[in-house]
Chain A
Amino acid sequence: MNINSLIALAPLIAVGATAMAVMLGIAVRRNFMSACGIAAGGIVMSLWTLGWAARESPVRATLLMRVDAYSLFYMTLLLSAGLTVLGFCYDYFKAREGEHEELPLLLLTALLGASVLVCSSHFASFFIGLEILGISLFVLIGYPLNQVRPLEAALKYLVLSGVSSAFLLMGMALIYAQCGELHFSGIGGYMTSRDNINAMVLSGTLLIVAGLGFKLSLAPFHLWTPDVYEGAAAPVSAFIATVSKGAVFALLLRYFISTYSYDYTPLLTVFSVIAGLSIVGGNLLALQQNNVKRLLAYSSIAHMGYLLVAFIAGGISTGGAVESVSFYLSAYFITTVGAFGVVSVLSTPSMEADDISCYRGLFWRRPWLAATFTLMLLSLAGIPLTAGFIGKFYIFTSAAEGRLWGLLLVTIVGSGLGLYYYYLRIIVVMSMNVEATAINTAHGWISTTLLAVLTILLVWIGCYPSLLANVIQAVSYEMEWGL
């Protein structure tokens, strides 16, 4: 370990150190505001140190981690999302009774886990990152502590997370037994040295995919998603939907590229089935929902399916997968955090704003908030002027490049179904003419600012995606050719 790798790991160290600082701060004096402040400062610091790390990259910092443009890009994404969620959390929890000081701490540790995941190039860091993330998450889901539903959700997540870890470990063990390697590039070396498909490695990879499928809530492993999203507090749901899924997806992609697992063509068939099931299942199940959080949960299942389409295309045609996935994830992050942000702004201590009736006539009661939510939903549906459209454009391009016409058709049908519920369920209700029932919700300036920033980003990327596209192109170039 030399000074270079230390600098490259500075963002991780900053997050870890801030977590310690928050913990010590809580030990001295319980104050939600200062805990949030320290956490936010730490995340900003970590974002700042990413600049230093960028100068050292690409570098193999220790055996376990690889800091390159890819991991830096995703860390930026995750940390920014974490910061935004922290802002929403502050406004959401400050009005609620109970002691919430540990919440920023847990957010920090979850972010640490996620950052480790996107850097990891070794099974050990892979597993450690995933567990740090998972353990932090199920405590986070349990907030606010004195209510039943969050507790139930936390328990569900705990059990399923444990099961998925077991799958994952078994998969790693199988692969290790065959290759004798835990490092990704070592496994890659084994894969390229053999021509035929090895059954042990194949089943190991399948088990890993199943384990990650739980975290990503892909179709046959998605059953926990709606319950957990519904039970958790709105900002925490945003965190699960973005940071947790984004980090896991980034890891999956890195694993497949650096171990050459794409050469195992039977896996692509499995992925195609999973993608199709997720898209159709997620959208169909969303049709009957009256609960906005459950609806967003099902839509996130479908979105992971769309992402998987780009992921599969990466295995068929060279290049493009990292680019499409990264762009789609960026758009998805902005959109999902924004949508849950609106839910959290509307929620009051006495009532979570997750029933569709809370949104009736929102257009005329709080036009700016409704406009923001509409833009977020349009982006989820992939309508132009929003980042979601460019993301969908990337997915379509990848799918066409990989000649996945069947999956492309499923995506089109899924998008059609998706429109049906985003519109019928929410936008129509928001534009209904209803005399204002005076529900006064707390106005937090932090949430308002964050929503404004997210909306501007959404429209900006939707209208002028070149900047982000260029960054992502550079990242993907290094990832796919510079290994």
Chain B
Amino acid sequence: MILAALICVLLLGGFAAWFSERWSPTAPRWVAVATLTVEALLLALPYTVANQAGGLSSAWFAGFYLPWIPRFGIGFHLAMDGLSLLLITLTVLLGFMAVSSSWLEIKCRQGFFYFNLLMCLAGIFGVFLAVDLFLFFFCWELMIIPMYFLISIWGHENRIDAALRFFIFTQVSSLLMLAAIIALVLIHHRNCGVYSFDYFELLNTAFAPDVAFWPMLGFFIAFTVKLPMLPFHTWLPDAHTQAPTGGSVILAGVMLKTGAYGLLRFVIPLFPDAAHQFAPVAMTLGAVSALYAAVTAFAQSDLKRLIAYTSVSHMGFILLGVFSWNLLALQGSVITMLAHGISAAALFMIAGALQQRLHTREMGNMGGLWSAMPGLSALALFFSAASLGVPGLGNFIGEFLVLQGAFSVNRVLASVAALTLILAPVYALSLIQKVCYGPPSQHVHLVDAGRREWVSLGLLALACVWLGLSPQAVLKVSAPALKQEMHWSADEY
């Protein structure tokens, strides 16, 4: 019940935000804040259940089922385990950040903006909660449309091309996934004589040799386009650069994680054999794109583009960790998802704040901001350090666990990926060098971070430190879910 409520509140909040614009142009953002607060309160409930998890027999602690299209065995089936709980929490947190960073940036058509923002979050919630493949696909597609509008209406100068490329990449790849889902269901139908899109039913589908590879590839492509991964990453820098700050926060912080979540939740448990055979290729892709994106990030002169490439690099670690498929690497991937969500969102918020003040994203036009805006610069330094993986902060834990887990599976690739740890400080420090230090440029009258910015970025900084100092709290929540996933595919591994 609570899971359906989580999605419904967002949908209702979205419409309320849209219509509240009639009373006052600033009402929508308050409605958005109220909606997200309700979500946060609702989330407290699963956490209380999760904390007494010692007594729980299953890793799933909430479920919701309604028949939807019985003709094909499709149900409106939601379920939550530790993994989805963590990612949903991240989504709510970054939802607040997106609203906060759009507070003054979005000046026109606020109602429609917050409507799209909340709809996008509702779609993401659906993706993290759905355990019916049809419902999953439904939400997977649905979260793209509001994001498309966010980019194409409130984005920057090249917004239309960027939005279009984002949409077409994700859409075409997701059609491949739809074909794969249907193929999987038909194979299951041939085996058992029942149509079912239910995740739990499909988990034990038996495949003829070589058949499983193709549907697995369909899923893999859809998720790695979203992640994004090396040959498919070209939509990302544009989409991130052109999106409004709130859109970038959601895009980098949460939407990329849906790809990683899909790999973790669907690709490997559903196709254990094929995924195992494919793992070296996937891990290579992960390591190479971690390295490649780090090098490319260093070459960027556009602040948001640089941050976008660092996202690709971090996602490479996640891919590496997921396909290593041992508990250590998986836990690392989960921590990296959360930590990257926090640090990338914060960096995008800082970039947005700078752009709002300086009207440029070119790092060549910045420089010397430390003297003008010490607060914001200090925050930029903090989150750059987080992103490069300084010990004590969340990203370090994630990367360390991933590398350790991957090392036991494939030493060469783990070593290649570890090289990124050398490149990460290079791009992170060059960012700080170009933006904060150097001769002050001619900017005058720059306002330092205001109260709203301090509160939201401070919250993220706290989360980042907490994740780095006591990761055990998070690991405890995700462990049962990950163990269960590993158990499902254990027979073949």
Contact = CB atoms under 8 A, between A and B. Distances in A.
Interface of A: 364, 378, 383-385, 389, 393, 396-397, 400-401, 408, 412-413, 415-416, 419-420, 423-424, 428, 431, 433, 464-466, 469-470, 473
A325 B56 CA distance: 48
7 contacts: A383-B145, A384-B138, A393-B178, A419-B167, A423-B164, A465-B69, A466-B68
Contacts of A419: 167-168, 171-172
B145 A378 contact: yes
Given A378-B145, A466-B71, A469-B69, A400 B182 contact: yes
A431 B109 CA distance: 11
A314 to B, nearest CB: 15
Residues of B contacting A: mostly: helix
Given A400-B179, A400-B183, A424-B160, A384 B172 contact: no
Contact of B186 (A383, A400, A415, A470): A400
A345 B175 CA distance: 33
A255 B176 CA distance: 33
A378 to B, nearest CB: 7
Interface residues of B, number: 31
A378 B108 CA distance: 25
Contacts of A465: 69
Most chain-A CB neighbours within 10 Å: which of B138, B149, B175, B183?
A: B175
Contacts of B70: 466
A418 to B, nearest CB: 10
8 closest Cβ contacts across the A-B interface? A416-B172, A412-B175, A400-B182, A384-B141, A469-B71, A384-B138, A396-B182, A400-B183
B142 interface: yes
Interface string B16-34: 0000000000000000000
B171 A416 contact: yes
A250 B141 CA distance: 31
A413 B182 CA distance: 17
A415 B179 contact: no
Contacts of B108: 433
B9 interface: no
B79 interface: no
B152 interface: yes
Given A412-B176, A415-B175, A473 B164 contact: no
A157 to B, nearest CB: 34
B164 A428 contact: yes
A396 B164 contact: no
A234 to B, nearest CB: 26
Contacts of B40: none
A384 B186 CA distance: 21
Contacts of B72: 397
A412 B137 CA distance: 15
Contacts of B372: none
A434 to B, nearest CB: 13
B164 A384 contact: no
A431 B160 CA distance: 10
Contact of A396 (B109, B138, B167, B179): B179
Contacts of B109: 364
Nearest to B214: A405
A77 B299 CA distance: 59
Contacts of A397: 72, 182, 186
Given A383-B141, A400-B179, A473 B168 contact: no
Interface in B147-185: 148-149, 152-153, 160, 163-164, 167-168, 171-172, 175-176, 178-179, 182-183
A433 B160 CA distance: 12
A416 B138 CA distance: 17
Counting chain B CB atoms within 10 Å of each CB, the highest count among A378, A428, A473 belongs to A428
B152 A428 contact: yes
A364 B21 CA distance: 14
A306 B33 CA distance: 44
A412 B138 contact: no
Given A428-B164, A431-B153, A473 B171 contact: no
Contact of A384 (B142, B168, B179, B182): B142
A466 B149 CA distance: 30
A413 B142 CA distance: 20
Nearest to B71: A469
